[in-house]
Chain A
Amino acid sequence: MTQEVDTAPARSAHVAQRAALIGAALVLSLAVATFVGARYGLLLLIGLGFGIVLEGLRFGFAGPWRAMIVRREPGGVFAHLLAIGLVAVVAIPLIAFHGTELVGARAPVGFAMVGGAFVFGACMQIVMGCGSGTLVNAGSGNPVSLLALPFFAIGSFAGAFHLLWWTDLGILPVIAFEGMQGTVVTLLALAAVAGLLYFMGKPGSRSMPRRYVVAAVLLAALALANLVVAGQPWGVVYGLGLWGAKGAAAIGMDLSSSGFWSTTGNIERVQSSLLTDVTSLTNLGIIAGAFGVAVWRGGLSTTLPQLPARAWVATVIAGFLLGYSSRLAFGCNVGAFFSGISTGSLHGWAWFAAAFTGAYYGIRLRPVLGLEARR
């Protein structure tokens, strides 16, 4: 009896807190839709969806890659391939038929692109967070990601600033698998990678957990919504670089000396509100969505880790390199790997191979840098 009296107010408080979270998300999206534009409000809602799915189902990119490399458990990477395949089945034909309204995440393969992907793969294992993962982890209070995030933005700005110098080192023309033929080629390649991972996986650990299947389907649906609403695939890194560019412009830095930031489109975006920028909106939504899930399930009571100074220094450097390298690589795990492959770009495949190799070395660096106990 006493217990019921004690828990009832607590339960009511929980219900009120959760109702407030849902209400806040809807009010925010509605406010952006009303005062900035309906498309922008919808994109914020899609971003919230990404954050809720990634944090709510504890799904990401760095963790599953680590599970495959360290424990030979391919289930998480299977889920990535499933999500990418689901998007590709719709997105590649859709882009072929609506080529003026919709664009894919298509970029050239090049020396700096491959090198950038390798560095990104290593750094995403060092901080245990990729492009989306850093946003999600920071939103749920992870101090390593919180520290990495501003340096990710600065690095992304700097990488874009120097991008044309790097591409002058040598790039191929943009190669994309298009139309129905491109869809079939992409699906066959995804199946081949899945088969290879199955073969390399540890017997008894090759299944895909149900929550990963749910996450893959939901991510695919949200990614397609992003494409249909924004006219472009899901991305993360441009938005973070734009935040850095706004900061740089505010302290008087001359952006006209950069071939990238001095283009008409980028000048306009630096001068416009970030609430009108596609990737900024979904990034903000991811942070807010992850925060909401963390509050919802009481995950903010976790104590902060005691890490050595060298771990924090490594986080700052890795955060900067995550941003810088992802610009050279024409995207992170989202913009290049997920959206690149799912919209038929060859650079997505090159990114995957280089970043996965980099991840192998990043995992080995974590104990050395004090981010985990030595084994």
Chain B
Amino acid sequence: MMTRKITALLLITLMIFFVAWDLAASEPVNPFQAPPLLALGSGLAANGAHCAALPFR
């Protein structure tokens, strides 16, 4: 009998490969250019992407 162990492990494996592929294919990450720990109090404008945001044209 197949159990959820197979499907859960399949997903975790796929996600690990996806993140690894993405890290290799994307621009290198630079922790020294990362934003401050908290947005609140940083003085910087929020620049993340959200599903509610309509892009400007």
Contacts and interface: CB of A to CB of B under 8 A. Distances in A.
Most B Cβ at <10 Å: residue of A94, A229, A277: A229
Interface string A98-130: 101111111110000000000000000000000
B10 A107 contact: no
B49 A98 contact: no
Contacts of B54: 107-108, 163, 167, 330
Contact of B40 (A102, A288, A335, A347): A102
Nearest to B24: A273
B43 A101 contact: yes
A232 B51 contact: no
Given A101-B45, A107-B53, A229 B11 contact: no
Given A139-B11, A146-B11, A291-B12, A235 B50 contact: yes
Interface string A293-307: 011000111111000
B26 A273 contact: yes
Contact of B52 (A107, A146, A231, A250): A107
Interface in A233-256: 233, 235-238, 241-243, 246, 250
Given A103-B46, A271-B26, A277-B49, A299 B4 contact: yes
A231 B8 contact: no
Given A274-B19, A294-B8, A299-B4, A259 B55 contact: yes
B35 A39 contact: yes
Size category, A interface = 35 or more
A300 B12 CA distance: 13
B44 A140 contact: no
A141 B15 CA distance: 13
Chain B binding surface SS class: loop
Contacts of B48: 230-232, 277-279
Interface string A132-166: 00000011111100100100000000000001100
A139 B52 contact: no
B29 A142 contact: no
A72 to B, nearest CB: 31
Contacts of A331: 50-52
Contact of A238 (B25, B35, B50): B50
B41 to A, nearest CB: 7
Contacts of A236: 51
A155 B35 CA distance: 30
B39 A101 contact: yes
A272 to B, nearest CB: 6
Contacts of A40: 34
Interface string A23-53: 0000000000011111110100000000000
Interface in A150-188: 163-164, 167
A287 to B, nearest CB: 6
Interface in B1-57: 1-8, 10-12, 15, 18-19, 22-23, 25-27, 29, 31, 34-57
Nearest to B48: A278
A40 B30 CA distance: 12
Contacts of A205: none
A361 to B, nearest CB: 23
Contacts of A140: 4, 8
Contacts of B34: 36-40, 276
Given A269-B49, A273-B26, A303 B37 contact: no
Nearest to B56: A263
Given A259-B57, A279-B49, A335-B52, 12 more contacts: A36-B31, A40-B34, A138-B7, A229-B40, A232-B48, A241-B51, A242-B49, A275-B23, A276-B29, A278-B50, A279-B48, A331-B52
Interface of B: 1-8, 10-12, 15, 18-19, 22-23, 25-27, 29, 31, 34-57
